Amino acid sequence: MFLRQLFTSAFIISALLLNAQIEEKQLDNLIQETLTTFDVPGISVGIIKDGEIVYSKGHGLRSLTNQKDMNDETMVGVASNSKGFTCFALAMMVDEGKLNWDDKVRQHIPEFKLHDAWVTEEFTVRDLVTHRSGLGLGAGDLMFFPEGNDFTVEDVISNVRYLEPESSFRSEFQYNNNMYIIAGEVLKRVSGLSWEEFIENKIMKPVGMVNSKASYNRVSDRSNIIDAHAMTEGKVVQIPHDWSAIANPAGGIMSNVTDMLTWAEFLMNDAVTKDGERLLSEKQFHELWQLQTPLRVGKEDVYNSNFRGYGLGWFVTDVKGGYKQVYHTGGLLGTVTQFTLIPDLDLGIVVLTNQMNGMAFNTVTNTIKDSYLGYENRNWLDKYGTRNANYIKYNDSIKAAVYTKVKDAKKLKSLPKPEQIVGTYKDDWFGDVVITHDEKKGYTIKSKRSSRLFGELLPLNASTFVAKWNDRSYDADVYVQFTFNEKAEAVSATMKYIAPITDFSFDFHDLELKKIN
């Protein structure tokens, strides 16, 4: 409380923003312009430097519906910034002798199986949390995304065996959430606590994260919580919260700037709480930030980085002059967040938003970071603003061209008849997808297990349709490509997203739908 009173003093703030090129008023103005440029209703931002909070504010609105202001206490889903908590919890179990990072997963979850038998036997707890499984980006995410499905953790464990790898085991980085769901189950089995109970009682409580919860459905006081927002049909609108509880170990935590700054301070104090309690051994804490899966540093890198990769729940790189940076981002439908630490500078930056545009948080984080690293003003707002406008224009042009073809397809005589494609199609891990037809309403497509995935199925040509989901905030329409037998009857179907703006967790391309009736 004392620190929160301190930061309200302009004098103290000026003193603590030592060596920073950006002043408080400049940062206020930047964030306000960021809200406008990227159509973000609200952003909350925090900076901690040398153990002191030097900035902690909310800007804009927490919700377009209730028009209430965003502040540094406003609860936001931090999404994949939860992964660092999952790995911290596993490391605590290593300290207790209940787990080793290189334990085989089947030692703790005997029923665990992957597509390849050898990989199944060799797969370790470390492999679960380092995105090197060989599975493709977001493979299997439709088992928890979007919310409203009936999949369980047991289903995820059972179904990952049907996901075919895209690369060989441990050879490439491919981000995967389902492995974190399974890691959460490992934690449950070795600790005797649910993932949520462990995170709240063993980490958040001693660290001092007094307002945070491990899951959206565990937040009882919602008087100061965001609504999610997304660009929908050219306009930003409020959308329902979207995250299935089974995926909490991958991205379920609800927090705010104040608590996330507390988390940052704790981490930069070598996992020692304000009360002097060490929650993790020096050895295990050091392990979390060691490179496990390397990533390429491109020639266009703007921070003169020499290395980049993924540790245990964290991205790790170096920035100007060799300063180690530990960071992560997070994204839900309608929310994106960014958490950045430069321990060598004792600097932490938190940016939480309620609209799913990552260029907004990059603008704010990079500007703050540059001020401490000594870069001249590189005008990230203009750079990312231009890039964002061009990207939206590019995606809109793709979608417009497709729907022009859909409109023109009504004139084609070679379109399949309803009896050729109507029926139930089954995927081994996703379950049944049903296609129906009504003379007046046309075709519909619906997932049996993910109730919010339904929409129109619009003819495009003799073998391809377009699935236009009823929830337009998804921005995830897909081609549906049918394969026909010698009788001109559909026997299978595959899907492929129309525009690259589609979130990778809509992994429709991983489905292999076979017609069963």
The secondary element (H helix, E strand) that includes residue 385 is helix 380-409
Q: What is the DSSP string of 82-124?
A: GHHHHHHHHHHHHHTTS--TTSBHHHH-TT---SSHHHHHH-B
422 plus 275 within the same structural domain: no
302 plus 404 within the same structural domain: no
The yes-or-no verdict on residue 5 having pLDDT over 60 is no
Q: Please check whether residue 22 lies inside any domain of the structure.
A: no
Q: Please check whether residue 280 lies inside any domain of the structure.
A: yes
The yes-or-no verdict on residue 222 having pLDDT over 90 is yes
122 plus 236 within the same structural domain: yes
What does the pLDDT average to over 369-390? 96
> What is the C-alpha to C-alpha distance for residues 483 and 197, in angstroms, rounded to an integer?
48
The yes-or-no verdict on residue 8 having pLDDT over 90 is no
Q: Please check whether residue 440 lies inside any domain of the structure.
A: yes
The pair phi, psi for residue 338, each rounded to 5°, is: -145, 135
Going by C-alpha positions, the residue among 286, 262, 272 that lies closest to residue 94 is: 286
> What is the C-alpha to C-alpha distance for residues 244 and 217, in angstroms, rounded to an integer?
10
Write down which residue in 330, 357, 384 finishes a domain: 357
| DSSP β-bridge partners for residue 327 | 315, 340
343 plus 404 within the same structural domain: no
| Range in 35-39, 242-246, 453-457 the model is least confident about | 242-246
Block residue for tokens 């704790």: 266
Q: Peptide bond before 459: cis, by omega within 30 degrees of 0? A: no
Write down which residue in 311, 339, 357 finishes a domain: 357
What does the pLDDT read at residue 21?
54
Q: In angstroms, what is the C-alpha Rg of the chain? A: 24
What does the pLDDT read at residue 7?
32
Q: Which two tokens stand for residue 320?
A: 């100007």
> What is the C-alpha to C-alpha distance for residues 367 and 376, in angstroms, rounded to an integer?
10
351 plus 414 within the same structural domain: no
- The contacts found for 268-277 with CB under 8 angstroms, 24 or more apart, are 268/48, 268/51, 268/341, 268/343, 268/346, 268/348, 269/51, 271/88, 273/206, 273/207, 273/208, 274/208, 275/206, 277/206
> What is the C-alpha to C-alpha distance for residues 349 and 327, in angstroms, rounded to an integer?
9
Strands 513-515 and 490-497, by their bridges, are: antiparallel
118 plus 179 within the same structural domain: yes
- The amino acid occupying position 419 is E
The yes-or-no verdict on residue 138 having pLDDT over 60 is yes
Q: Please check whether residue 23 lies inside any domain of the structure.
A: no
What's the full length of the chain, in residues?
Answer: 517
User: What CATH number has the domain bearing residue 471?
Assistant: 2.40.128.50
| DSSP β-bridge partners for residue 172 | none
208 plus 145 within the same structural domain: yes
What does the pLDDT read at residue 194?
98
pLDDT band for position 1 (cuts 50, 70, 90): very low
What does the pLDDT read at residue 298?
87
Q: Please check whether residue 372 lies inside any domain of the structure.
A: no
If one counts every other C-beta atom within 10 angstroms of the C-beta of residue 497, the result is 18
Q: Please check whether residue 97 lies inside any domain of the structure.
A: yes
347 plus 431 within the same structural domain: no
User: What CATH number has the domain bearing residue 226?
Assistant: 3.40.710.10
479 plus 411 within the same structural domain: yes
What does the pLDDT average to over 291-313? 94
Range of the domain at 261: 74-357
The pair phi, psi for residue 304, each rounded to 5°, is: 50, 40
Digit-coded pLDDT (tens) for 148-170: 999 999 999 999 999 999 999 99
If one counts every other C-beta atom within 10 angstroms of the C-beta of residue 1, the result is 5
Q: Which two tokens stand for residue 396?
A: 């809109």
- CB burial class (10 A; 0-12, 13-18, 19+) of residue 193? middle
How many Cα atoms are found within 13 Å in the side-chain-facing hemisphere of 261?
Answer: 23
8 Å CB contact between 229 and 269: no
Q: Please check whether residue 419 lies inside any domain of the structure.
A: yes
How many Cα atoms are found within 13 Å in the side-chain-facing hemisphere of 294?
Answer: 6
The yes-or-no verdict on residue 19 having pLDDT over 50 is no
If one counts every other C-beta atom within 10 angstroms of the C-beta of residue 480, the result is 25
318 plus 448 within the same structural domain: no
Q: Please check whether residue 151 lies inside any domain of the structure.
A: yes
Q: How many domains does the chain have?
A: 2
What does the pLDDT read at residue 11?
32
3-state helix, strand, coil in the chain (%, to 5): 35, 25, 40
- Give exposure, 399-417, as e/b (b: 16+ Cβ within 10 Å): eeebbeebeebeeeeebbe
Write down which residue in 357, 376, 404 finishes a domain: 357
> What is the C-alpha to C-alpha distance for residues 337 and 330, in angstroms, rounded to an integer?
5
350 plus 440 within the same structural domain: no
| Range in 11-25, 87-101, 107-121, 413-427 the model is least confident about | 11-25
What does the pLDDT read at residue 22?
81
- Cα angle 74, 77, 81 (rounded to 5 degrees) comes to 120
What does the pLDDT average to over 287-308? 94
> What is the C-alpha to C-alpha distance for residues 356 and 490, in angstroms, rounded to an integer?
37
Average pLDDT of every residue of the chain: 94
249 plus 153 within the same structural domain: yes
> What is the C-alpha to C-alpha distance for residues 212 and 253, in angstroms, rounded to an integer?
7
| DSSP β-bridge partners for residue 481 | 464, 494
